[in-house]
Amino acid sequence: MSTSKRRAISLRKLTEVWRRYSEFKRGQVAPSTYIRDYEKITRRITRLRKEAPYIENAIEIRDWLVKHYSAEVARRTLVQFNACCKWGYESEMLQKNPFEGIQKHIKLARPSETAWAAFTTEERDAIIQEFESNHPYYAPWVKFLFWTGCRPEEAAALRWEHIAMNFSEVLFICAAPSDMKEVQGTKNRKSTRFPCNPRLQSLLKELKPSPCDHSSLVFQARTGGRFNYTNFQTRYWRPIIKEMVKRGALSFYLSQYHCRHTWITEALNHLSVADVSYLARVSTAVLYQHYAGRSRSITIPEF
Cis peptide before 211 (omega within 30 of 0): yes
Residue 255 lies in a domain: yes
Of the three residues 105, 125, 160, the one that is the final residue of a domain is 105
Same domain as 139, residue 276: yes
Instruction: Say if residues 85 and 95 touch (Cβ distance below 8 Å).
Output: no
- Asked if 188 and 95 sit in the same domain, the reply is no
Among 105, 132, 151, the domain boundary falls at 105
SS3 of 210-262: the string is CCCCCCCECCECCCCCECCHHHHHHHHHHHHHHHHHHCCCCCCCCCCCHHHHH
Question: Which pLDDT score, from 0 to 100, does residue 106 have?
Answer: 83
Determine the Cα–Cα distance for residues 26 and 18; give it in Å rounded to an integer.
Answer: 12
* Contact status, residue 71 vs residue 106, Cβ threshold 8 Å: yes
Is residue 254 within 8 A of residue 144, CB to CB? The reply is no
Same domain? For 282 and 155 the reply is yes
Domain count, the chain: 2
Domain containing 90: what range?
3-105
User: What pLDDT was estimated at residue 32?
Assistant: 77
* Per-residue confidence (pLDDT) for residue 295, from 0 to 100: 47
Q: Measure the CA–CA gap between 18 and 23, rounded to whole angstroms.
A: 9
Asked if residue 186 and residue 97 are part of one domain, the reply reads no
Whether the pTM exceeds 0.85: the reply is no
Are 101 and 119 part of one and the same domain? no
Give me the pLDDT at residue 2, please.
Answer: 52
Looking at residue 174, what is its pLDDT? 92
Asked whether residue 301 is domain-assigned, the answer is no
Kindly report the three-state secondary structure assignment for every residue of 22-52: HHHHHCCCCHHHHHHHHHHHHHHHHHHHHHC
Q: Flag whether 71 is in a domain.
A: yes
Predicted local distance difference test score (pLDDT) of residue 104: 85
Alpha helices in the chain (DSSP H): 3-6, 11-26, 31-33, 39-51, 58-68, 71-90, 121-134, 139-148, 152-157, 198-207, 229-232, 238-246, 258-267, 273-280, 284-286
Whether 138 and 237 map to the same domain: the answer is yes
Q: What is the mean pLDDT of each run of 10 residues along the chain (303 residues)?
A: 76 94 87 84 94 93 92 90 94 93 77 70 96 97 97 95 96 88 81 95 95 93 91 96 96 94 91 93 86 58 66
CATH number (domain holding residue 182): 1.10.443.10
**pLDDT at residue 119, rounded to an integer:** 93
- Do 31 and 161 lie in one domain? The reply is no
Which of these, 230, 263, 290, lies nearest to 145 by C-alpha position? Answer: 263
Q: What percent of the chain has pLDDT over 90?
A: 69
> Does one domain contain both 259 and 281?
yes
Q: Which residues pair with 194 in a beta bridge?
A: 170
62 and 74 in contact (C-beta within 8 Å)?
A: yes
List of residues 6+ apart from 229 with CB closer than 8 A? 141, 152, 153, 155, 156, 178, 256
